[in-house]
Structure 1
């Protein structure tokens, strides 16, 4: 199994717009071959935990194989999603992991 943690930082005040676009794209991603999990997360309220901040969200993904993840990245809907958000994103860090 392949795990992905993608940390997306929006330009100030643009996170909600990106999340709206993200949520609209989720059904297409869930329909992809090999998609086990794909969803956006944000900081919880309260607690003494480290925070990403109000402009950042984290995408948690699980894929059956690296080939499935590569096909996801090359899909037409992900290219359209990237184009729609290109002027809204300040930074993006994608970590691809495997079970230890």
Structure 2
């Protein structure tokens, strides 16, 4: 019986450990500028397929700064989300400027 209680307790807490990290992704305005191999920017490892790029890792910084750093390397973006923070249209315009 004790084993069942322990198993039930572990099962109940499993979702807390299984949460996926917040998404870090972007869409390039010009897919031709996508890097052909993984690129590390501020500790984030960016990989692209077509116009869509995703990243793992990265330093703690505001999404707007991360966007500017990526745009310097990859060119303009039409969408940008850094660790779960989605940039607005105005923030994207500033990032691409």
| TM-score normalised over the length of structure 1 | 0.39
Higher Rg of the two aligned structures: 2
- Which protein is richer in helix relative to its size? 2
| TM-score normalised over the length of structure 2 | 0.40
Higher relative contact order structure (alpha carbons within 8 Å, sequence separation ≥ 6): 1
